[in-house]
A and B are shown apart, each in its own frame.
Chain A
Amino acid sequence: MSAAEPLTARVLTPGARSIFVGAMPVSIRLALGFLLLMVVVSCLAPVLAPYDFATQNLARRLRPPVFWGGDWAYLLGTDHLGRDILSRLIYGIRTSIAIALAGTLIGAAIGTLLGYVAARRRGWLDDVIMMMVDVQAALPAFFIAIAFIALVGSNLLIFVVLVSLEGWERYTRLVRGLVISEQAALYVRAVKALGATTNRVNLKHVLPNIAASLVVQMTITFPWVILLETTLSFLGLGVQPPGTSLGQMLGAGRNYLLQAWWIAVCPGLVIFLTTLSVSLLGDWLRDRLDPTLDGAA
């Protein structure tokens, strides 16, 4: 079994080491476990949440969590409007994860496409795209999002698109560089010599070869996207009530730190653990998948 694992991995990605669970250190397993838990919670939110996340009950406001002298009816206590924190947390995870996933995927798709077009066409189109990359690198998505939301307004769709601005230029740079440099590779020249068109070479041979780098890039940008979403919602510029997200819960809880710290700390802890888990997992994956980084720390 253990002899077969590296062999399979090598077939998948040349030069890479095993990425199976059996090869993971404990911290990476914990991180993966936490992320899986978050995904399950997001998918099963309506089943798992003990209460409706928006139902207010002023008679039961600011109840502490069960481990802080509260009762079992509200495991993580209630907020300033008597809403159940656990239920809000579960739906907040669902919203935040969904927005961050959508934002990461949109950013990756747009960035990859632009990088591919730039590498394929070169010329003025390449210049324009790289100029856009420079501008994005000069002005963080955070500021573009704040300006856009303040000036034009926001809804869920606009918000997801704005969040996806985080990091697209990284994919563009990466894909453009890789596609250009792969053209000189032996396998590309071999397939071309067999009569394949450039598009066929790129789509069937080059893209699968750079997929590992794209996946690693996604593990790098995903925490940024989560942080951008939660930060904007925290500042009151993202997900609006009655909707809920982790950042928005934290922002609302900020005003009740003295009486009820759990309103802010519960969602904050979930955001922290999520970004931490993705970072750890991403680092580990990068060491494993990206052969160019072999031996470099």
Chain B
Amino acid sequence: MLNFIVRRMLRALLTLAICVTAVFVVLRLAGDPTDILLPDDTPPLVKAEYRERWGLDRPIAEQYARFLIAVTRGDLGVSFADGRSAVMVVAEAIPNTLMLAAAALSLALIIGIPLGMLAALKHNSALDRIVMSIAVLGFSIPTFFLGILLILLFALTLRWLPSSGTDTWWHLVMPTLTLAAGLLGKIARFTRTAMLEVLGQSFVRTARAKGVPRLPVLLRHAFPNAAVPLLMFLGIETGLLFAGAAVTETIFAWPGVGRLLVSSAGVRDLAVIQTAILFVAAVIIVSNLAVDIIHALIDPRIDVLGAKGHAS
């Protein structure tokens, strides 16, 4: 078990290192940073001085080594739009993104799981079909379109909710709904499939046969088994949750990492872009790692699978 966890952590570190390298490569592909950051009419002499100051005149291997050292020190450059360190600018936005993501994830779980269980219990009934239709609608509607429809309805027509900002809890309502919709649909559908699989197994029938009532069988026997694949599924979805958050934050002017990334992309604020990307990559890698380890801890069979590597 410990062996598996250590190996899995090393792989996560390797993935992170590759992401850092990829950022470095793309940065260098981007051409000469002095061309991007300095005005076009900068004299060549001044450019040369900046190139020296930023170490751009060194061999590429040395630049890469310096970049790696800087990243491990948490030094990712200065935002030229803001003048502060990029890490500070991004760190400021992180709580907002986490709050939005947590709210959306909670909502999607609280509504999605019971809906999926209900659909599995009433398999092939009208209720099942209605729930699955809602689920398909939920993950088919583009995040940006749902956000705009909500603004049209609740902010502009009914005037119930504010359309942008972070001043009150009411400001969290529409971004949360927007971000949660797709995830809710996927969770409901996934829960249904996982539950159907478990409900067909003999231990469920045995529990029912020995007289355990329906609801405890469902909650105590069936659901914990269906929860394992659901957990794995949520780990995979983290990345998409952050991508959705970038769009949602932009629409509702929610000052999170995603909105920062999009606005920085618009003005080519290199330091902030690389910091935000590395932050997102790190969160996704760590959450996948956490999911795998939790999975290994609750499911003893995983060690055998882990030893085989990614066979098939």
Contact = CB atoms under 8 A, between A and B. Distances in A.
B262 A147 contact: no
Given A138-B281, A254-B251, A180 B273 contact: no
A146 B136 CA distance: 27
A189 B281 CA distance: 43
B142 interface: yes
A134 B151 contact: no
A272 B250 contact: no
* B interface SS class: helix
B80 interface: no
B158 to A, nearest CB: 13
B56 to A, nearest CB: 15
A149 B148 CA distance: 25
Contact of B142 (A135, A257, A271, A279): A271
Contact of A297 (B192, B265, B285): B192
Interface of B: 11, 14-15, 18-19, 22-23, 26-27, 29-31, 136-137, 139-145, 148-149, 151-152, 156, 192-193, 196-197, 236, 239-240, 242-243, 246-247, 250-251, 261-262, 264-266, 268, 270, 273-274, 277, 280-281, 284-285, 288, 310-312
A135 B265 contact: no
Given A150-B265, A272-B145, A279 B239 contact: no
- Which 8 A-B residue pairings sit nearest by Cβ, starting from the closest? A150-B265, A268-B145, A151-B30, A276-B140, A142-B243, A140-B239, A177-B312, A275-B140
Contacts of B143: 231
A247 B149 CA distance: 15
Which of A147, A223, A271 gathers most chain B CB within 10 Å?
A: A147
A137 interface: yes
A134 B243 contact: no
Nearest to A251: B144
Contacts of A34: none
Contact of B270 (A135, A142, A151): A151
Contacts of A247: 144
A138 B148 contact: no
Contacts of B236: 137
A140 B240 contact: yes
A143 B284 CA distance: 12
B15 A134 contact: yes
13 contacts: A131-B15, A139-B281, A140-B240, A140-B242, A152-B26, A152-B30, A180-B312, A223-B140, A230-B142, A250-B144, A257-B148, A265-B149, A275-B141
B157 to A, nearest CB: 9
A143 B260 CA distance: 13
B213 to A, nearest CB: 25
A276 B136 contact: yes
Interface string A208-248: 00000000000000010001001100111100000000010
Contacts of B270: 151
B239 A250 contact: no
A138 B136 contact: no
A84 to B, nearest CB: 21
Given A231-B143, A276-B140, A297-B193, A152 B239 contact: no
Nearest to B267: A150
A147 B26 CA distance: 8
Given A146-B265, A231-B142, A151 B29 contact: yes
A51 interface: no
Contact of A280 (B136, B247, B281, B310): B136
Nearest to B144: A234
Contacts of B23: 147
Given A142-B243, A231-B247, A265-B152, 5 more contacts: A143-B261, A143-B280, A180-B311, A230-B142, A231-B143
Given A227-B142, A258-B156, A261-B152, A236 B273 contact: no
Contacts of B251: 254
A40 to B, nearest CB: 22
Which of A142, A151, A180 gathers most chain B CB within 10 Å?
A: A151
